[in-house]
Amino acid sequence: MNKWMRSALSVMMIVSVFAVAGCDSQSAIGSEMNKITAAVEQKTGLAKTDTAAKAQEQTDKTSQMLIYIPTEDGSGVRAQAMTVDTVKKTIKFAVSEVLRQDSEQKHPVFAKGTEVTNVTLDGSNAVISLSKEFLTGATSELTAQLRLAAIVDTATEFSGVKTVTFVVNGKPIKTYGSYDLSKPLSRMTNIIKK
């Protein structure tokens, strides 16, 4: 028997008792009804609070993240908003997602098999270690630019990250295409497409 049926039966029993006893049933019934209504509202209020707490808990478990994917036409990179589990909101996961989404395009920019092997922070600089495939096919100016922008712009979306250093096989990359990477690379906003 659910709680609503129990409440209704309780009211009927109270009405019966007062009717048999000959009391002023209207005021007694009103008083009992108010008690029952208050109890129901309290229970319902608790249920709403529990639901709100669960919704907040779910919100706390997810976060928004912005990554940058090379465009199909090679004209730049486009922002892609994502909702992810908060524990996954890391630079490594974000850059890995860039590589995954790029690989699903008709004309991927990154060489097949390119992976993020590690990411460390050195102050405001993210040191991103990539697999050797990152070096494959980077001779084209456009390819190098799109790859670098996708990674740098994604990494610098994270709070406190201003620059990126690229590492392959444990060694910092000094040049990539025609880009000088002897110093950390800053955000490349000029090729972000709206």
d(CA 86, CA 60): 7
Q: What pLDDT is recorded for position 26?
A: 52
d(CA 70, CA 103): 10
d(CA 126, CA 174): 16
Residues 9 and 52 in one domain: yes
* Mean model confidence pLDDT for the chain: 83
Q: Is the pLDDT of residue 56 over 80?
A: no
Last-in-domain residue among 15, 36, 61? 61
Residues 94 and 166 in one domain: yes
pLDDT above 70 as % of the chain: 70
Q: What pLDDT is recorded for position 71?
A: 95
Residues 87 and 42 in one domain: no
Q: Each residue of 102-112: pLDDT tens digit? A: 999 999 999 99
Domains of the chain: total: 2
Q: What pLDDT is recorded for position 139?
A: 81
Residues 52 and 76 in one domain: no
Residues 105 and 80 in one domain: yes
Q: What pLDDT is recorded for position 174?
A: 95
d(CA 164, CA 126): 5
Q: Which domain holds residue 48?
A: 3-61
pLDDT above 90 as % of the chain: 65
Residues 184 and 174 in one domain: yes
Last-in-domain residue among 15, 37, 61? 61
Residues 27 and 57 in one domain: yes
Listed in sequence order, the residues at least 6 apart from 111 whose beta carbon sits closer than 8 Å to its beta carbon are: 133, 134, 136, 137
d(CA 65, CA 80): 8
Identify the burial level of 81 via C-beta atoms within 10 angstroms of its C-beta, where 0-12 means exposed, 13-18 middle and 19 or more buried. Answer: exposed
> Of residues 93 and 39, which shows the higher confidence score?
93
Q: Each residue of 137-151: pLDDT tens digit? A: 888 899 999 999 999
Q: Is the pLDDT of residue 35 over 80?
A: no
Q: Is the pLDDT of residue 189 over 80?
A: yes
Is the separation of the CB atoms in 155 and 161 below 8 Å? yes
Residues 151 and 107 in one domain: yes
